[in-house]
Structure 1
Amino acid sequence: MKKLSLLMLLMLAFVACNDDVKKEAVSEVKPKKAPPVEKEYGFVLNDFEVVKDTIEPGDSFGYILDKHGVDRGKVYEISQKVKDTFNPARIMAGKRYMILKKKDSARTPQYFIYRNDKINYTVVQIGDSIRAYTKKKPVSVKKREISGVVTSSLSEAMQKQGLSNLLVYELANIYQWSIDFFKLQKGDQFKMVYHEKYIDDTIFAGIESVEAAVFKHADKPFYAFEYEADSVTGKPSYYDEEAKALQSFFLKAPLNYSRISSRYQKRRFHPVQKRWKAHLGTDYAAAHGTPIVTTADGIVIASSYTSGNGNYVKVRHNSKYTTQYLHMTKRNVRRGQHVKQGDVIGYVGSTGLATGPHVCYRFWVNGRQVDPYRQNLPTAKNIDKAHKEAYYAHIEDLKKELDSIPYKNI
Structure 2
Amino acid sequence: MKQIGYALLFIVVLFSCKKEKKEAKIITPEVIEEKKEPPVITKYGYVLDNFNVIKDTVRPGDSFGAIMDAHGITRSRVFEISNKIKDTFNVARIMAGKPYMLLTSKDTTQKAQVFVYQNNKIDYTVIDFRDSIMAKKRKKPVKLVEKTASGTINSSLMQTFDDLDLNFLVAYDMADIYAWTIDFTRLQAGDRFKVKYTEKFIDDTIPAGVDKIKAAYFEHIGKPIYAFRFEEDSINGAIDYFDEEANNLRRAFLTAPVKFSRISSRYNLRRRIKYYGNKVRPHRGTDFAAPIGTPILATADGIVTKSERRGGNGKYVKIRHNATYDTQYLHMSRQAVKVGEFVRQGDVIGYIGMTGNTGGPHVCYRFWKNGKEVDPFKQDLPASKPLSDSLRPKFFNHIEPIKAELDSIQFKPQEIL
Q: What TM-score do the two structures reach when normalised by structure 1? A: 0.70
- From 209, 224, 228, the equivalent of 2:227 is 224
Distance 2:411 2:46 in 1: 47
* Alignment of 1:244 onto 2:238: no
Deviations along 1:100-150, one digit per CA (max 9) or x if unpaired, are 212221111112222221111111223321121211111121111222222
* Alignment of 1:202 onto 2:205: yes
Quote the residue 2:409 is aligned against.
405
- Identity over the aligned pairs, expressed in percent? 44
Any gaps of 5 or more consecutive residues in structure 2? 1-29, 276-282
Deviations along 1:180-226, one digit per CA (max 9) or x if unpaired, are 33333333322111111112332111111111111223333221111
- From 126, 131, 142, the equivalent of 1:128 is 131
Deviations along 1:314-343, one digit per CA (max 9) or x if unpaired, are 9876677688896569x7x99999875446
SS at match of 2:59: coil
Distance 1:90 1:349 in 2: 26
Quote the residue 1:383 is aligned against.
387
Q: Is contact 2:301-2:321 (8 Å) kept?
A: yes
Quote the residue 2:27 is aligned against.
none
Q: Is contact 1:327-1:359 (8 Å) kept?
A: no
Bigger Rg over Cα: 2
Quote the residue 1:214 is aligned against.
217
- From 152, 158, 171, the equivalent of 2:174 is 171
Residue 159 of structure 1: CA displacement?
3.0
Q: Is contact 2:185-2:261 (8 Å) kept?
A: no
Q: Is contact 2:284-2:366 (8 Å) kept?
A: no
Q: Which amino acid aligns with 1:243?
A: A
Quote the residue 1:234 is aligned against.
237
Quote the residue 1:37 is aligned against.
41
Q: Is contact 1:254-1:361 (8 Å) kept?
A: no
Distance 2:50 2:350 in 1: 39
Which residues of 2 match residues 329-368 of structure 1 at below 5 A? 341-342=345-346
Q: Is contact 2:185-2:260 (8 Å) kept?
A: no
* Alignment of 1:395 onto 2:399: yes
Q: Is contact 2:152-2:413 (8 Å) kept?
A: yes
Distance 2:129 2:308 in 1: 35
After the TM superposition, which of the residue ranges 363-372 and 227-236 deviates more from structure 2?
363-372
Residue 93 of structure 1: CA displacement?
2.5
Residue 369 of structure 1: CA displacement?
10
Quote the residue 1:98 is aligned against.
101
Note closer, same or farther for the CA distance 1:62–1:137 as it changes in structure 2 (3 Å cut): same
Q: Is contact 1:55-1:93 (8 Å) kept?
A: yes
Note closer, same or farther for the CA distance 1:69–1:208 as it changes in structure 2 (3 Å cut): same
Residue 165 of structure 1: CA displacement?
1.0
Aligned residues: 373
Q: Which amino acid aligns with 1:108?
A: K
Q: Is contact 2:298-2:349 (8 Å) kept?
A: no
Distance 1:354 1:105 in 2: 66
Note closer, same or farther for the CA distance 1:70–1:373 as it changes in structure 2 (3 Å cut): farther
Q: Which amino acid aligns with 1:180?
A: D
Distance 2:305 2:125 in 1: 30
Note closer, same or farther for the CA distance 1:32–1:265 as it changes in structure 2 (3 Å cut): farther
Q: What TM-score do the two structures reach when normalised by structure 2? A: 0.69
Q: Is contact 2:257-2:365 (8 Å) kept?
A: no
What do you get for the CA RMSD once the two structures are aligned? 4.7
Q: Which amino acid aligns with 1:407?
A: F
Distance 1:65 1:279 in 2: 58
Note closer, same or farther for the CA distance 1:114–1:268 as it changes in structure 2 (3 Å cut): farther
Q: Is contact 2:297-2:345 (8 Å) kept?
A: yes
